[in-house]
């Protein structure tokens, strides 16, 4: 982040997060060390040499900053807005009412030996399964870290929507998701068994549009891991602290996108690739939803044919 964004983050962590200046260390220095560790996965012994501080001071500053950032959750998580009927952007105009996209990604982690089978992914890596939900502007709207790497994406999603402060999807809205999730109310998945390119039938066309639009969550994960090196390799923090670090990285990601006009990393990745409304509280197969998907894909095909 640039200097202006950093200065604003310091103000937020002090005013809302409760971060305070110490007798010998300012809030700015604490936050600078914290961001350095996250961005470059620096070890405690490296930071204490660079900043001429004791290892204990570095550790205390890191934990204080982590708590301060997590207190900013209500402020930094974005409230998604659905795609409107008058949407003109080609990527999104087909998906009226869509809130964004969701998917899971693995983050490497170190766990005690007896827990490794639970955290072992299909590829044999020891990792935690992070559920990420984003809007069309590459902002996280919900994150759920902590599930073991062996957990299926659909299982993680079911847990997310039944939590008290979990993922809330108003009736009539939905998120785009890949074929690993159930196609049901609130979650629009592609047709299974059809390739992601255009042929002579409407289902191919639907899958192509769906994949192109759902790619927003893949870009989101690319940006997240590109900014924060600590998510690219295993750290020595405990599982509980590591999951809090993941959440903090997602929050700061949203802050950067809000404060900075241009994110160079985003450009690179894009080039490469009741009064409260009723919310959905189950993840299951709905025949009506499948029918609606058929109608939507057919209308896409018809609209294309008439152009």
What is the spatial distance between Cα 270 and Cα 203, in angstroms, rounded to a whole number? 26
Which of 306, 301, 305 shows the shortest CA–CA distance to 191? 301
pLDDT at residue 306 in the model? 67
**Predicted TM-score (pTM) of this structure:** 0.86
Per-residue confidence (pLDDT) for residue 260, from 0 to 100: 87
Half-sphere exposure at residue 233, Cβ-oriented, CA atoms within 13 angstroms = 8
**What local confidence, expressed as pLDDT, does residue 286 receive?**
67
| C-beta of residue 31 within 8 angstroms of C-beta of residue 14 | no
CA 138 to centroid of chain Cα atoms:
9
Terminal C-alpha separation, the chain: 43
Please report the pLDDT score of residue 159 as a whole number.
95
Q: Which two tokens stand for residue 218?
A: 């893949």
Q: What pLDDT was estimated at residue 281?
A: 54
The pLDDT, as a whole number, for residue 270 is 54
**Could you tell me which residues come within 8 angstroms of residue 257 by beta carbon, excluding any fewer than 6 positions away?**
137, 138, 139, 263, 266
pLDDT of amino acid 195: 53
pLDDT below 50 — which residues of the chain?
196, 198, 273-275
């Amino acid at each position: 982040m640039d200097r202006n964004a950093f200065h604003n983050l310091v103000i937020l962590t002090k005013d809302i997060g409760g971060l305070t200046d110490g007798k010998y260390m300012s809030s700015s220095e604490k936050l600078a060390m914290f961001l350095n560790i996250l961005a470059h996965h620096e070890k405690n012994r490296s930071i204490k040499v660079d900043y001429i501080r004791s290892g204990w001071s570095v550790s205390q500053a890191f934990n204080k900053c982590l708590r301060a950032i997590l207190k900013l959750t209500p402020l930094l998580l974005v409230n998604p807005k659905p795609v409107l009927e008058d949407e003109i952007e080609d990527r999104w105009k087909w998906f009226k009412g869509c809130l964004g996209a969701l998917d899971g990604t693995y983050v490497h982690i170190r766990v005690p030996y007896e827990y490794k089978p639970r955290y072992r992914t299909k590829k044999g890596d020891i990792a935690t399964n992070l559920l990420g939900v984003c809007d069309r502007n590459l902002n996280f709207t919900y994150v759920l870290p902590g599930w073991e790497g062996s957990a299926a994406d659909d299982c993680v999603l079911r847990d997310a929507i039944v939590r008290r402060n979990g993922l809330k999807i108003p009736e009539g809205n939905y998120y785009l998701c890949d074929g690993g999730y159930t196609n049901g109310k609130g979650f629009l998945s592609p047709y299974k068994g059809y390739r992601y390119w255009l042929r002579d039938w409407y289902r191919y066309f639907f899958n192509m549009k769906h994949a192109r639009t759902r790619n927003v969550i893949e870009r989101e994960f690319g940006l997240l891991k590109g900014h924060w090196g600590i998510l690219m390799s295993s750290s020595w923090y405990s599982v509980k602290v590591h999951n809090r670090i993941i959440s903090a990285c997602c929050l700061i990601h949203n802050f950067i996108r809000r404060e900075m006009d241009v994110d160079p990393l985003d450009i690179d990745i894009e080039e490469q690739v009741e009064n409260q409304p009723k919310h959905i509280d189950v993840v299951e197969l709905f025949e009506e939803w499948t029918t609606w998907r058929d109608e939507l894909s057919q209308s896409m095909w018809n609209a294309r044919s008439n152009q």
